[in-house]
């Protein structure tokens, strides 16, 4: 019913002396899982982040933006390379916001006649 210590030691020694091929076979599933994980999750997320960063950096005067806090306003002052933009939330209410806190840039709505 129980294996004697001598048999247990012999079985462990035989499996350990398999060489590099056995180690490769054991590592192959882990490497495969990592490769699949990279192509299905990490790479698309990096692409989305890059597109979002480009969209935020391209915010210009007249664009409607959404801040991280959910405030919606219109960009009234934007200097390329400057980390800040000036946003008009309501008529006469202007705030300065960091570009990094903007979460979305929308197309400006046409003026109501």
Q: Which residue range is the domain that position 15 belongs to?
A: 5-54
Q: Are residues 21 and 41 in the same domain?
A: yes
Structure tokens at 89: 């939330």
Query: How many Å is the Cα radius of gyration of the chain?
Result: 29
Same domain, residue pair 71 and 47: no
User: How far, rounded to the nearest angstrom, does the alpha carbon of residue 58 sit from its chain's CA centroid?
Assistant: 19
Rounded Cα distance between 30 and 32, Å, is 5
- Does residue 79 sit in the same domain as residue 94? yes
DSSP string, 31-86: HHHHHHHIIIIIHHHHHHHHHHHHHHHT--TT-EEEETTS-EEEEEEE-TT-SEEE
| Full pLDDT tens readout for the chain, 113 residues | 565 665 555 555 555 555 778 888 899 999 999 999 999 999 999 999 999 999 999 889 999 999 999 999 999 998 888 899 999 999 999 999 999 999 999 876 676 65
- Is residue 65 one of the residues assigned to a domain? yes
State pLDDT tens for residues 46-77: 999 999 999 999 889 999 999 999 999 999 99
């Amino acid at each position: 019913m129980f294996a004697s210590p001598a048999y247990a030691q012999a079985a462990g020694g035989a499996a350990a002396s398999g060489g590099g091929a056995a180690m490769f076979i054991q590592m192959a599933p882990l490497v495969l899982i990592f490769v699949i994980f990279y192509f299905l999750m990490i790479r698309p997320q990096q692409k989305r982040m890059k597109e979002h960063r480009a969209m935020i950096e391209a915010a210009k005067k007249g664009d409607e933006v959404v801040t991280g806090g959910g405030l919606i306003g219109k960009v009234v002052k934007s200097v390329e390379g400057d980390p800040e933009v000036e946003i008009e939330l309501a008529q006469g209410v202007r705030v300065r916001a960091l570009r990094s806190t903007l979460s979305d840039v929308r197309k400006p709505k046409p003026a109501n006649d």
